[in-house]
C-alpha cells in the first residue's frame, strides 16, 4: 500500500544520516561491512563457546551498538552485564589501573567472560580490566573488540575477536564518540577538521 511505501522511504532517508554525515570527512567502514563482520564474529563465538556458561560484558557507553549487533549473532544462551570504566590514561602515575564507575551486577565466578568493547587503542584499559576479572574467579576472560588501532598499542593485550584493524586516526561512529557525540552514527568515519574547531 502507499503507507508502506512511505515507511520504506522514511527508513531509506534516515539510513543516509544526512545531518550527521555532513560532519564526516571520510567513511572508513560502512554499515554493511560492519554487519557482515559482526555476524562472522558472532558465528566464531557460537562455535568456540558451545556448552559453556557465557557472560557478555559490555563496556558502556561505547560498546552499545556493537554489543547489540554482536549478541544477536551469538546462538548460545548468554547472559549480559555491563561496566563503565575509564583508564587513568596517563603513563606517569598509576598506569595500569582503571577507574570503575559502574561495576558488574552479578558474580562472574566460574563463568566464561567475553568483554565487548568498541575500540582498543593503547590497550591500557583492557590490560587492567582483564586481570581484574580473572582475579574475581572467572573461568576465562577474552576480548571481543570491534576496532583495533594496533599501531598505537602500548600494552601487549591478546584480543581473541577483532572486527577490523584501522589506521591511527581519530574515528567516530558505531559507538565511538567525539565529545560524547556521533556514537549513533551507523558507520565508522573520520570527522572534518572544522568539527573540532567548532568544539
Binding residues vs Mg ion (CB under 5 A): 62
- Among residues 58, 62, 65, 189, the one that binds ligand IMP under rule CB under 6 A: 62
Q: How far is the CB of 170 from ligand IMP (least distance, A)?
A: 4
* Cross-strand bridge partners of residue 29: 188
Q: How far is the CB of 124 from ligand IMP (least distance, A)?
A: 4
The answer to whether residue 196 forms part of the interface with ligand IMP (CB under 6 A) is no
| Cell numbers describing residue 123 | 590497550
Q: How far apart are CA 85 and CA 50, in angstroms?
A: 29
In the set 81, 121, 156, 168, the catalytic residue is: 121
Instruction: Tell me whether residue 55 or residue 174 sits nearer to Mg ion (CB atom).
Output: 174
Query: What is the CB neighbour count within 10 angstroms for residue 107?
Result: 12
CA distances from 184 to 34, 57, 137, 149 (A): 14, 20, 34, 20
Q: How far apart are CA 184 and CA 141, in angstroms?
A: 28
- Among residues 159, 171, 185, 195, the one that binds ligand IMP under rule CB under 6 A: 171
Q: Which helix (H) or strand (E) holds 161?
A: strand 161-165
Annotation says 121 is catalytic:
yes
The answer to whether residue 148 forms part of the interface with ligand IMP (CB under 6 A) is no
Residues found near ligand IMP in the complex (CB under 6 A)? 62, 87, 118-125, 170-171, 176-177
Amino acid at each position: 500500500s502507499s503507507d508502506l511505501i512511505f515507511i520504506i522511504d522514511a527508513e531509506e532517508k534516515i539510513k543516509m544520516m544526512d545531518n550527521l554525515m555532513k560532519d564526516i570527512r571520510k567513511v572508513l567502514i560502512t554499515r554493511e561491512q560492519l554487519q557482515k563482520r559482526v555476524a562472522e564474529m558472532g558465528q566464531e563465538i557460537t562455535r568456540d563457546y558451545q556448552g559453556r556458561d557465557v557472560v557478555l560484558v559490555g563496556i558502556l557507553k561505547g560498546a552499545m551498538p556493537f554489543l547489540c549487533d554482536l549478541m544477536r549473532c551469538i546462538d548460545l544462551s548468554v547472559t549480559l552485564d555491563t561496566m563503565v570504566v575509564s583508564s587513568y590514561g596517563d603513563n606517569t602515575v598509576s598506569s595500569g589501573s582503571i577507574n570503575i564507575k559502574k561495576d558488574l551486577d552479578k558474580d562472574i565466578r566460574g563463568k566464561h567472560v567475553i568483554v565487548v568493547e568498541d575500540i582498543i587503542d593503547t590497550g591500557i584499559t583492557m590490560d587492567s580490566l582483564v586481570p581484574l576479572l580473572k582475579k574475581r574467579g572467572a573461568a576465562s576472560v577474552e576480548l571481543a573488540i570491534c576496532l583495533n588501532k594496533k599501531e598505537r598499542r602500548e600494552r601487549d593485550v591478546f584480543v581473541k575477536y577483532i572486527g577490523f584493524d584501522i589506521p591511527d586516526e581519530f574515528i567516530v561512529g558505531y559507538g565511538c564518540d567525539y565529545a560524547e557525540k556521533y556514537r549513533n552514527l551507523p558507520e565508522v568515519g573520520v570527522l572534518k577538521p572544522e568539527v573540532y574547531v567548532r568544539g
